[in-house]
A and B are shown apart, each in its own frame.
Chain A
Amino acid sequence: SYVLTQPLSVSVAPGKTASITCGGTRIGGKSVHWYQQKPGQAPLLVISYDTDRPSGIPERFSGSNSVSTATLTISRVEAGDEADYYCQVWDSTTDHVVFGGGTKLTVL
C-alpha cells in the first residue's frame, strides 16, 4: 500500500516560515491535499490539489509538489497556526485514500 511520510514535529518562531514535508513514491504525479487539525476539532482543508487554497484560508498558506516530496509552507507563522498537519493523496492502484502520519507544528 502507498505510504506518506511526514516529520513528527516542526518548530518555528513567530513571524518565521514553517515548511512541512510529505514524502511518497512518485508523489509528484499525484494530487496532494493538506489539512490542519487543532485539538478537539475536525480537520480543516488548507491546501488542495498541491497548490490551491480554499476560500477563507490565509495567503500565508501555500503548497508545492515535486517528484518525491510535497511541501506545505506557512509564511509569517502565528501562534494560531499551532496544530497538527496532515497530507493526503488518492492511491489509484488501490482506489484508497491515504493520509500521512501527521506533523505537529509548534510555534515557539
Chain B
Amino acid sequence: EGQLVEVGGGLVKPGGSLGLSCAASGFIFRNAWMSWVRQAPGKGLEWVGRIKSTTEGGTTNYAAPVKGRFTISRDDSKNTLYLQMSSLRIEDTGVYYCTSSLDGDSDAYDVWGQGTMVTVSS
C-alpha cells in the first residue's frame, strides 16, 4: 500500500513564504497524479491543486484562492511532491495533506499523508 509523509509545516507571518514536501513510497510515484488538500481549523476539506504525472506533461492546476501564490512541483527521482507557498494569508492557515490515487490519474484519493499544520499569524 502507498504511503505519503509530509514535512515542512510551521508558523509564518502574513506575506511570508513556506515550502512543504511530501515523500511517497509503496506505489509508482512517477505515474501518479498528486494533489494537495487543506483543511482550516474546524472547517471542511478544500482542494488546493494537482500536478499530473511527468509522462502526461506534469501540468498543474490550482484552486482560485491559491492560484498565482502557490506552486506545486514534483521530483520523480526522489519520489517527492512539493508545495511552495508565497504571499501567505491568515486564511491559508490549516492542515495540508498530500494525496493521490493508487490508480494513477484517478481523483478518488485512496492514499493520504498524515497532514502538516501551517499557521499564518503575526
Contacts and interface: CB of A to CB of B under 8 A. Distances in A.
A45 B44 contact: no
Contacts of A97: 35, 47, 50, 107
B45 interface: yes
B109 to A, nearest CB: 6
Interface stretch (A11-19, A65-73, A74-82, A98-106): A98-106
Instruction: Name the prevailing secondary structure of the A interface residues.
Output: strand
Interface size class on chain A is 20 to 34
Interface of B: 35, 37, 44-47, 50, 61, 63-64, 97, 99, 106-110, 112-115
15 contacts: A31-B107, A33-B108, A35-B109, A37-B45, A42-B97, A43-B99, A45-B109, A48-B106, A88-B109, A95-B61, A96-B47, A98-B47, A99-B37, A99-B47, A100-B44
Interface of A: 1, 31, 33, 35, 37, 42-45, 48-49, 54, 84, 86, 88, 90, 95-102
